[in-house]
Structure 1
Amino acid sequence: MARQIPPLSAVRVFEAAARHLNFTRAAEELAMTQAAVSYQIRMIEDRLGTPLFVRSGRRVSLSPAGQRLAPAVTAAFDRLDEAFAKVRLAESGVLTISAAPGIAAGWLGPRLARFQLAKPDIAVRLLASHELVDFARDEVDVGIRIGQGEWPGLRAIEMFGAEFTPMCSPAYIDRMGPFTDPAQLLDTLRMNSDDVWWRAWFAEVGVAVPDDLDRGSIHVDSQVIEGMAATAGEGVAMLTPRFWPFELATGRLVQLFPHVGDGGSFWLVYPEHKHGSPKVKAFREWLMAEVRAG
């Protein structure tokens, strides 16, 4: 059944006039003329069939009907104010991002201070985990995922390629190298050698791998730890060059061979219904500008 409520604009005028008991002040608050305020009040009175104000010269007071109506209308607007404030806070307060530890530590994390400077009204919470979040259940606004960009119900925007290649420290090369043939890496201590990226890279460079490729490997749960171990001279790690620019530039890590494997792409993802969210829009535009800047 349709609600039997006068136009909300007219109800808003009544609430302001009842609060001020002055049509001129109500008009100033609402940026209207006094004539427009009087017109909106008469519209409600005509629909109700009873006056809401008692006019005496330049003074107005609430009629018995107005006295009954005003507290309920004010309370209703207070509840609306509270509801909209909560939504505004949710949309502009905290942006929660989910990303794998590798890209969180190696690429996104070092850049987030620039986003905070650009958008100081948006706080950021970065969750570094390999687990794919359930946007319908978890309190997460956006995520960064690796793959082909096909996740039902999610908007996916490609960032850059998920490239990978073997790296190690100069000390490890001095101890175990030099490495001139990719097949030599079969006899090295490899980090997470059961990772599909190792098999993919060996296949792309034409090296046949044994079934027990992961024998004697060091197993860790993130590229961050792999890279740290490789930097410390503990072995060879399959890493994403984009995540280790400082180590490569300073020679703390060495890319052993020119070939870089293709693991798909990294994607910014979020539910379709969040596409118009102000904080998601702000982060999306900033993130893609960072991607374009390299």
Structure 2
Amino acid sequence: MIDNLARIPLDAIRVFEATARLNSFTRAAEALGMTQAAVSWRIRDLEQRLGVALFVRETRRIALTLEGQRLASASSEALNLMRRAINDVMEQDQSVLGITTLQTLATQWLATRIGMFQLANPDLAVKIDVDNGLSDFSGHGTDIGLRFGSGQWPGLESRFLIPALFTPLCSPELQASLDIRTPADLKSAPLVGLPQEWAEWFARVGMADDSETPPPRVISENQAMEVATAMAGQGVALGNPVFYDREIRNGHLVRLFDANIALGGGYWLCYPKERRNLPKIARFRDWMLDMARSDASNIEACRLSGQTVGTIG
């Protein structure tokens, strides 16, 4: 039976169901956007595959045979079940927005703003997954990725959000106790972060060949952890001033110098190109870009880096 069913094209069942329901080749053709000849051919092909007549063809009218009546009832029920299932899936997909993002971007920037998006879009639930890997968007309910890099990912459209600027940050107490006034004073300070990032920062301020520069005391690839360590008074970390603007303004962190470095790349919003016009993706994309454009600290960071919010990668 399964083999017999596999030989029946689903499109033929769809054409038959419409013809039986409307009791007319002509009206079925109009409803399906086909020609009457195409509908008639589909029905003939289905009858040949089944080995039975489904319609009695009379002058200017058709009527279902007994076999046709049995198939019409079953096909109508099956297609209605499929339509309801498809509608349920589509409604569920359109009611939940899946976002995958980096931890620092999630905790220091997105978390303080996402509530505004939800207030403006009460019909859309947001599911956020924090993951440093780049999702391939093949399932798992992922619609949008917020990622760090060049903005060049195969199959994805990327929009620039935030530049990758870094500056030394520490607690007010540590700055006072170590009397940090110039980059050279960092020689005696406990550093936090990746050695290569600190090496590049020191090179930008003219200290590339200084052998007395100490290696970082705490090494991490997680900016949120690094800056949290600095805020606790345990060292000096390189952090993005856009992410820590609130802590800097509140006095929980001190931005030691105006010397920012751009480590290359930036933070991007990305999604599959073929889904760019999906309403929920378009709504979040437009909102996110508006937030990035209106953020005063990000405006300054973009000016320093020469980047423009919304640039397509």
Per the normalisation by structure 2, the TM-score is 0.72
Write out aligned runs for 1:25-40 (5 A). none
In structure 2, what is the equivalent of residue 292 of structure 1? 293
Displacement after TM superposition at 1:93 (Å): 3.2
In structure 2, what is the equivalent of residue 205 of structure 1? 205
Write out aligned runs for 1:57-136 (5 A). 64-65=66-67, 67-136=69-138
Q: How many pairs align?
A: 267
Match of 1:151, SS? coil
- Change in Cα spacing, 1:197 to 1:4, as seen in structure 2 (3 Å) is closer
In structure 2, what is the equivalent of residue 22 of structure 1? none
The range that moved more, 110-119 or 68-77, is: 68-77
Looking at structure 1, the residues matched to 177 and 225 of structure 2 have their Cα atoms a distance apart, in angstroms, of: 21
In structure 2, what is the equivalent of residue 166 of structure 1? 168
The range that moved more, 209-218 or 224-233, is: 209-218
Match of 1:215, SS? coil
Match of 1:227, SS? helix
In structure 2, what is the equivalent of residue 27 of structure 1? none
User: Gapped runs of 5+ residues in structure 1?
Assistant: 19-34, 56-60
1:150-207 Cα distance to aligned partner (Å, 9 max, x none)? 2222211111211110011111111111x2221221321111142x332222111111
Is the CA contact (8 Å cut-off) linking 2:55 and 2:65 kept in structure 1? Answer: no
In structure 1, what is the equivalent of residue 231 of structure 2? 231
- Change in Cα spacing, 1:4 to 1:253, as seen in structure 2 (3 Å) is closer
Question: What letter is aligned with 2:119?
Answer: L
- Change in Cα spacing, 1:213 to 1:203, as seen in structure 2 (3 Å) is same
- Change in Cα spacing, 1:245 to 1:108, as seen in structure 2 (3 Å) is same
- Change in Cα spacing, 1:90 to 1:162, as seen in structure 2 (3 Å) is farther
- Change in Cα spacing, 1:137 to 1:64, as seen in structure 2 (3 Å) is closer
Question: What letter is aligned with 2:95?
Answer: G
Identity level (%): 31
Write out aligned runs for 1:144-223 (5 A). 144-177=146-179, 179-194=180-195, 196-208=196-208, 215=215, 217-223=217-223
In structure 2, what is the equivalent of residue 283 of structure 1? 284
Looking at structure 1, the residues matched to 218 and 12 of structure 2 have their Cα atoms a distance apart, in angstroms, of: 72
In structure 1, what is the equivalent of residue 247 of structure 2? 247
Is the CA contact (8 Å cut-off) linking 1:192 and 1:214 kept in structure 2? Answer: no
Q: Does 1:270 align with 2:271?
A: yes
Match of 1:241, SS? coil
Looking at structure 2, the residues matched to 4 and 95 of structure 1 have their Cα atoms a distance apart, in angstroms, of: 32
Q: Does 1:50 align with 2:56?
A: yes
Question: What letter is aligned with 2:243?
Answer: F
User: Gapped runs of 5+ residues in structure 2?
Assistant: 1-6, 44-53, 296-313
The range that moved more, 167-176 or 123-132, is: 123-132
Per the normalisation by structure 1, the TM-score is 0.76
Match of 2:206, SS? coil
Looking at structure 2, the residues matched to 227 and 132 of structure 1 have their Cα atoms a distance apart, in angstroms, of: 23
In structure 1, what is the equivalent of residue 257 of structure 2? 257
- Change in Cα spacing, 1:216 to 1:182, as seen in structure 2 (3 Å) is closer
1:193-228 Cα distance to aligned partner (Å, 9 max, x none)? 42x332222111111256796635123452222222
CA RMSD of aligned residues (A): 3.6
